[in-house]
Amino acid sequence: MILNNLKDIDDNFFSVIIIGSGPAGISTALKLEEFNIKTLIIEAGNLEMNIESENFLKGNILADEFNDISTTRARMFGGTSNLWGGHCNKFEKNQFDNWKIDYDELHEYESQANKILGLKFYHSDFYVKKFSNNFNQYNSRLSADNRNFKDNYYEKIKNSKHIFLSLNTTFLHFNNIDKKITSIFCKKNNNFINLKAKYFVLAAGGIENSRLLLWSKEKCKNLFKDEIPIGKYYMDHPYYQPAEGFIKYNDVSMYLNNTKGNAREFFVDCVNRILLFPNLKFRKEKNIDSLTMFLRFSNKDYSNKDYIDKITCMAPNFIKRYIEKKKIDDLIKFTVQINQEQEPDLDNQISLSDDLDPYGTPLIKLNWKMSDKMKRAAKENLINLGDFLIKEDLGRISIDEYIFSYKEFKTKFNGRHQMGGTCVGDDQKKSVVDKNLKVHSVENLFVTGSSVFATSGHGNPTYTIVLLSLKLGEHLNKII
């Protein structure tokens, strides 16, 4: 149901108030609806993006190379699912070691997450196959029509008897008595209002969750313990294109066909791209974290002489061999794009800046950098891929110079996957929420979204966000 006026609502009407209507907030609400629990979602934005949004989302970025963070979040109903690409991946079990959440228990919500995200099945499931001694290949599943939560869930919520939605309603801070939140202070259109519930869920997005908690820590005396590390261990997936090359498409196809586990199926289904990541053995051997290498294939017109000259410089003997045999058409060009895991690092953190948003809440300051270990991981993986292509005589790659010098890493599209800042864990000095996503020491406040991730993995985050939010809904039902 859509609520335009919040003034006349009885204080005890809502059991749960969720702050934010992105995939995290909506998934939690859908789970609570199954138990007939009355839930209010407040959303700062409207049904469309407002030009003023930028003034709430910008920040002071102290980073190597980072996108303007006001462009990587959407302040509107459906949240950043209005911008996303719809690719869904699962974490590897071994990347979940520090989470304190049981991997299998969390993945019990898979079939519901698949439904919520409208996942298309290229195959029967996510899966991983061996590609070479050091690399595995995996598939990502695509959300139907890049499932936009606004288009898919507005009507459903409008017609729901248990989910209530208030648009243009911005959460400003909590009100508390000691360790319990009594109400939230919000601005709806031009009016201020206090809203009450038994439980509160912060689902405002990867960066906003930290910003709003940091500000609440300043406003609400005694609510949080002093040492709570809000904003710390921020992680991203740096994304960049450091190499290009050529492969013998048919031979790679044959190679994959002969690889144990029928990996060729992938090759065909992954619409001209292969997704590779280093296996655990290689990562341990080299002491590196993971990353995805997207090999994206494209056909080229080999009648263009300038182009032939350019590619000949890349791998002279290899290309000449094909020119001489008049078999250049057998080669297919590919680029390598990297989406990289970032380990939690105390120096990467969100804090409050002195600049304020239009409602007087401080904007963020983000300190972020790629470690040398990450840069070495990129180098090790690319060199290894190149060696593999030479050994099997399947192709060649040319790697950009910055991968070897570690200088000016040409990352682009950072800030899309915002993880950490309110990490899950049981050590109250190193984490913000417990395994049920409850904020340590606060009786009735939960956080959901990628800000609770304890590690970043190499895959896209939203699938795991939806799993966590469904699990949270189930937990809330047990305690209400």
Ligand X SMILES: Cc1cc2nc3c(=O)[nH]c(=O)nc-3n(C[C@H](O)[C@H](O)[C@H](O)COP(=O)(O)OP(=O)(O)OC[C@H]3O[C@@H](n4cnc5c(N)ncnc54)[C@H](O)[C@@H]3O)c2cc1C
Q: Which residues bind ligand X (CB under 6 A)?
A: 19-25, 42-45, 72-73, 75-76, 79-81, 83-88, 170-171, 203-205, 208, 212, 416-417, 449-450, 460-462, 465
Give the DSSP H or E segment for 40: strand 39-42
| Distance in Å, CB of 203 to ligand X, minimum | 5
- Tell me whether residue 172 or residue 228 sits nearer to ligand X (CB atom): 172
- Tell me whether residue 72 or residue 351 sits nearer to ligand X (CB atom): 72
- Tell me whether residue 171 or residue 246 sits nearer to ligand X (CB atom): 171
- Tell me whether residue 78 or residue 278 sits nearer to ligand X (CB atom): 78
DSSP-assigned letters across all residues of 234-295 = EE---EEEEEEEEEEHHHHHHHHHHSTTTTHHHHHHTTSEEEEEE-HHHHHHHT---EEEEE
- Tell me whether residue 171 or residue 266 sits nearer to ligand X (CB atom): 171
DSSP H stretches of helix in 159-207: none
- Taking the C-alpha atoms of residue 417 and residue 13, their distance in angstroms, rounded to an integer, is 35
- Tell me whether residue 205 or residue 229 sits nearer to ligand X (CB atom): 205
- Tell me whether residue 204 or residue 319 sits nearer to ligand X (CB atom): 204
- Tell me whether residue 24 or residue 252 sits nearer to ligand X (CB atom): 24
Q: For 156, left (φ over 0), alpha (ψ -120 to 50), or beta? A: alpha
CA distances from 101 to 106, 173, 329 (A): 7, 28, 51
- Tell me whether residue 389 or residue 465 sits nearer to ligand X (CB atom): 465
Kindly give, in sequence order, each residue whose CB lies less than 8 Å from that of residue 187, ignoring residues fewer than 6 positions away.
Answer: 169, 170, 172, 193, 359
Structure letter (DSSP) for residue 412: B
| Distance in Å, CB of 165 to ligand X, minimum | 11
| Distance in Å, CB of 246 to ligand X, minimum | 28
- Tell me whether residue 422 or residue 431 sits nearer to ligand X (CB atom): 422
Structure letter (DSSP) for residue 477: H
DSSP-assigned letters across all residues of 380-405 = HHHHHHHHHHHHTTSEEEEE-THHHH
| Distance in Å, CB of 208 to ligand X, minimum | 4
- Taking the C-alpha atoms of residue 397 and residue 243, their distance in angstroms, rounded to an integer, is 7
CB burial string 303-334: b at 16+ within 10 A, e below = eeeeebeebeeebeebbeebeeeeebeebbbb
| Distance in Å, CB of 466 to ligand X, minimum | 9
- Tell me whether residue 21 or residue 134 sits nearer to ligand X (CB atom): 21
- Tell me whether residue 167 or residue 328 sits nearer to ligand X (CB atom): 167
| Distance in Å, CB of 274 to ligand X, minimum | 17
| Distance in Å, CB of 322 to ligand X, minimum | 36
Listed in order, strand segments (DSSP E) in 57-206 are 59-63, 87-88, 128-130, 135-138, 141-142, 163-166, 169-177, 180-188, 191-195, 199-202
Which of 224, 235, 130 has its CA nearest to residue 176? Answer: 224
CB burial string 127-141: b at 16+ within 10 A, e below = bbbebbebbbbbbbb
- Collapsing DSSP to helix, strand or coil, 119 comes out as strand
| Distance in Å, CB of 153 to ligand X, minimum | 12
Q: Which two tokens stand for residue 282?
A: 């290689």
User: Of all residues in the chain, what percent are helix, strand and coil, respectively (each to 5)?
Assistant: 35, 25, 40
Q: Which two tokens stand for residue 458?
A: 């190499």
23-34 helix and 110-117 helix, angle to the nearest 10 degrees: 120
| Distance in Å, CB of 172 to ligand X, minimum | 7
- Asked if 412 and 201 touch (Cβ cutoff 8 Å), the reply is no
